[in-house]
Amino acid sequence: MVTLDKILQSQGFGSRKECRALIAGGYVMVGGLPATEHDRAYETAGLEFTVDGEDWLYREKLYLALNKPVDIECSRKPSYHPSVLTLFPDQFMARDLQPVGRLDHDTTGLLLLSDDGAFIHAQSSPKRHVPKVYRATTARPVSAELVAALKAGVQLHDEPAPLAALYCEALGENRLEIVLEQGKYHQVKRMLAAAGNHCEALTRVAIGGLRLDELDLAPGDWMYLEERHLALLAPA
């Protein structure tokens, strides 16, 4: 059991003092009924509440999927484009929501975010070997030689050994799908350049078994990930 003011604070609605003011002001309802006692305790599991007319479900931790649009930076302090965090409610910023890894500002597609530090660390670890699937549009035609080179491995100037795709196939004259597990900096773009082509557009379509096309998210849309989704992120 947790008191209402602590519940609101944990969900990103401000300091204990600010949460108590919301409660005293009549802005909070629990289970469809007005809640005006800040020290009343509730079971948090499955708790539904309303703050200033907006419905919320208590979540101990946030696990989110976003279809990242173009020209958005995966940073709390962006340099040239809006932060990805501007796409979420202000309460999530107060909970220290962070991207799990990064996509370049001009790369679109599936991005995970969380306020669970252990989850972020685990998902970002190169030891997990979770495949990530990308689709790239190339400046020059996708040849059989290009696909073969990406599968065999290409040498990047700052890597001790060649990096190879787990899988790669042409999807059209200037499009290909490539599956990686390393997650190096600008890896797809640099591998294409090293293989003699150039990436003009890039989107991430899957992480492990979690596929963007099955989440039904338009660019800029996001959703909560439930246990069934999180299970799809396990290593193969």
Catalytic amino acids? 104
Distance CA 149, CA 155 (A): 10
Cα separation of 212 and 214, whole Å? 5
Residues 6+ apart with CB under 8 A from 31: 48, 49
Those residues whose C-beta lies under 8 Å from the C-beta of residue 4, and which sit 6 or more positions away, are: 19, 23, 28, 30, 35, 37, 38, 39, 40, 41, 42
C-beta neighbour count of 228 within 10 angstroms: 8
Query: Which H helix or E strand runs over 211?
Result: strand 210-211
- The three-point CA angle 63-69-72 to 5° equals 85
Crossing angle between the packed helical segments 187-194 and 144-152, to the nearest 10 degrees: 120
Task: In whole angstroms, give the CA distance from residue 102 to residue 66.
Answer: 12
